[in-house]
Each structure stands twice: as C-alpha cells, then as structure tokens.
Structure 1
Amino acid sequence: MELKSSDVNLWKEALSLYDSRIESMSKPNLASLDQFYCNELPSLIHQRNPNPHITTSELSKLMQWKLTRGKWRPRLLDYVSSLDEETVKSASQKAFKSLPEVSKAVSELTVLKGVGPATASAVLAAYAPDVAPFMSDEAMVAALGNSKEYTLKQYLVFVDKLQAKAKELSADGDVFTPSDVERALWSSAIGAKITASSNTDAKSSKKKRKR
C-alpha cells in the first residue's frame, strides 16, 4: 500500500491485520514485546504524572522490540541497557515536555548512547502516538521511497507526511493517528512480502512437479 492511497477501508484492513502480521513473522518474543510496546508501555509512562518518563529497563525492552520487529543490531541493545537510570529519566522527561515540537524532543533523547532518531521516534510514539510515529524501515519506504537515511531531518519530513495522512483519513469521523498510519504501512509491507514469498514457493513446487 502506498502512502497516497486514500481508500480508508484499505487502511483499516491493513491496521486490523497488524497483530496477525506480527505473529506471522515467527520471531521469538516479538508478539509479547509488541504487546508491551503498544499496550503496556504507554500506560506506564502516562502514570508517572506530573513528570512522565521512561526507565532504563523499559528503554531496553523497547529496543528489543524495535530490533526484533526490524533489523537486529545487538550493540545498540548493549548501549541502552547500560545507561544510567537518572540520565534516561531526565532525557525522556525533557523530550516529552518538548512535544509537540518533535525536533527538540528527538534531540533531547539522542544524547543517550545508542539512541538515534529511529529509537527516539519509538520512545515518542509510545508517549504521543497522535504526534510522533515510529520511524520503521517499511513506513519510511512507503512514505519517502527509501529507508537509508536515519537523520532528524529525514524524520521530520516523515512526521509531516504521516501527520497529514492521519488527518486526511480522520476527516470523515474515523480516528487515525500518525502511529496508526505507520502500523498500517508496516502491516501492508509485511503482507506483500508474505504474498511474494508464498507465490515463489508455489512456483518452485510447480517446477518440481513438472520434473
């Protein structure tokens, strides 16, 4: 599915298939990590009023989710797992207070070792899905045509596009956040990979039968 698609039903379908696509990846712990990231973490962060923040162990689990759903880079997990608790608390508090100024919020988080714009976007999306979507490879390709540039500048372009799409899809009474748009794009991309893979398997089995 392309970002320019304006068929709300297609977006709803892709979003509704998100959980089953997570399951279909058959990656150890991904389903439970996704449950934590999408459902538990946002509540934990918001419960910490008046100064919402994320802890080191939560950031470490978020990183596990990000790397399991995307590309595995073990050094990043080592970096964030060894971060000082107060440093993580302070950086995330400042970041959340900076919103909706996404640029400043990302900059507050990227002072942490191992946290680049993509990981920062995941932290912000857990706290404010209506403002900041996660910078996944699949959604970056759909929105910008590539996923090679993990810079703040690229992320801000990505945010603008997904915020605009969320607003467009919500025009007729449906409610879409930028994070919903990201998940729908991710789900659609994974679905296309599954279809392509099954088509390849079907072709190779046909060839075998012909022999």
Structure 2
Amino acid sequence: MEFASCDVGAWREALLAYDVGLSLLRKPDLLPLDAFYRTELPLLLLRRDPRPFLTKPELHRLMQWKLTRGKWRPRLLNFISSLEEHLVESASRKAFTALPDLSQAVSELTVLKGVGPATASAVLAAYAPDVAPFMSDEAMIASMGNVKDYTLKQYLAFAEKLQMKAKELSVEGNCFTPVDVERALWSSAVRAKLLHSPSDDKSEAEAGVKRSTKRKRKI
C-alpha cells in the first residue's frame, strides 16, 4: 500500500484484510488481545465519560497487545507491572482530558515508566480514533519513510499525516479515521512481508487477500 495512493477501494480492502493479517502472524494470544484492544477497551473508556481513565490491568493488557502485534520486549511489561494503580489512573485521566491536544495528552502519559510516545498513542487511539492513530512501525515506515524515531515530535508529525489521509479518503460516503489508516497500512505491510516469505506463508497470505476481497464484494 503506497501512502500517497488516493484509491479508496484499495484502502478499504487493506482495512478489511486486517483480521486476516492478524491470523497470518500465527500468534494465538494476538486475536483475544486485539479483540480487547479494539472492542472491549474503547467501550470501557466511553462508559467512564466524562472523566475516563485507564486502569493498571488494562494498561498491562494493552502493552501485551502492542508487543504481540509488534516486537516483543518483555522489559516493558515489567515496567508496567511496577507502576502504582493510582498513578496510571491519574495520568490517563489527565491525558484523555487534554485531547484533542495530542502533545499534552502524550506528555501526560509518558511520565509513567515504560510508557513512551508509541504506547501513549495506543492508549489515546483506543479512546479517540478520530484524533490519535497508533504509532506502529509499519505505519511509520509507510507514511514517514524508513524512520524509527519514536519521539513526541515525530508522533505529532505522523499523526498529522494520518489525519490528513483520513480526511482525503473520507469521500463519497466513505468514512476513515486516522486509526483506520494505521490499520490499513499495518495490514498491507504484514501481507506484503508474508508474500515474500516461504511458500506456505505466501500461499496463506494470497488466500487471505482473496477472502477479504470476497467480503468486500458482499458489503
């Protein structure tokens, strides 16, 4: 998926293939973790309006999701485990209250040990998908080039690009959020990587693309 592409159909197809991408990674824990992150957590946060917050167990599970979908770094989980519950709730409440000011929101979360801009972006994306995209490796590379500078400054530039792309794609009845754009980029990158992998993975990736295309036609 080329980030510059304006083909709404191609972006929609990549987004619809997100679940296929999860399955292709062959990580049994990823599917329930992703269901928690995409479905359960946003509902929990919305129920806590007007002053939503994240609990320590929820942050721990979010970190498990982030590391399982990306690169596994167990030390980060240890940092989260060492945090005090009231600090997690206080920092997250301040962060959500700061939105749509992404700079302040990220800064409120990164006071927590083990939480950098990328993890902070995952927290914010769960509550405000129309503002805060998750700072994944795949989306960063696709939108910013081969750069892995996980700083607040880089995240703000990244978020702005995905916000603009979401607006660009939201035409003729289509509705994309920055979070949708990130997931489409991630899905496309995962499938592209597997298509260049050994034959078994390649065949499975090709089959996944066909299944997602069929689902698209039924919508």
So what's the TM-score if we normalise by structure 1? 0.93
Partner of 1:17: 17
Q: Is the 8 A contact 1:30 1:68 kept in 2?
A: yes
Code of the aligned partner of 1:15: L
Q: Which residue in the other structure is 1:169 paired with?
A: 169
Aligned to 2:135: 135
| Map of 2:49 onto structure 1 | 49
On the 8 A contact 2:109/2:120 being kept in 1, the answer is: yes
1:172 to 1:198, Cα distance in 2 relative to 1, 3 A? farther
Aligned residues, how many?
A: 202
Pairwise CA distance, 1:172: 2.1
Gaps of 5+ in 2: 203-219
Amino acid of the residue matched to residue 188 of structure 2? S
| Cα distance between partner residues in 1 of 2:194 and 2:148 | 23
> Aligned equivalents of 1:154 and 1:199: distance in 2?
37
Instruction: Give 5+ residue unaligned stretches, structure 1.
Output: 203-211
* Alignment RMSD (CA, Å): 1.4
Match of 2:210 in 1: none
Per the alignment, in what secondary structure is the counterpart of residue 28 of structure 2? coil
| Matches of 1:107 and 1:113, distance apart in 2 | 12
Alignment TM-score, normalising by the size of structure 2: 0.89
Is the CA contact (8 Å cut-off) linking 1:138 and 1:147 kept in structure 2?
no
CA distance in 1: counterparts of 2:87 and 2:44, whole angstroms: 18
Higher-Rg structure is: 1
Residue number in structure 1 paired with 2:117: 117
Structure 2 counterpart of 1:205:
none
What code does the residue aligned with 1:51 have? R
- Structure 1 residue ranges, 4+ long, deviating more than 3 angstroms after superposition: 198-202
Counterpart in the other structure of 2:39? 39
**Hey, what's the Cα distance between the residues in 2 that align with 1:130 and 1:72?**
27
The equivalent of 1:29 in structure 2 is 29
Once the two structures are overlaid, the 10-residue window that deviates more, 59-68 or 24-33, is: 24-33
- Quick one: distance in 1 between partners of 2:49 and 2:149? 35
> Which structure would you say has the larger RCO, counting Cα contacts within 8 Å and 6 or more residues apart?
2
- Cα distance in structure 2, aligned partners of 1:28 and 1:178: 27
Separation in structure 1 between the aligned mates of residue 199 and residue 192 of structure 2, nearest angstrom: 11
Greater displacement, 76-85 / 106-115: 76-85
Equivalent AA in structure 2 for residue 169 of structure 1: L
1:74-132 superposed Cα distances (whole Å, 9 cap, x missing partner): 01011112211111111001100101100000000000000000000000000101100
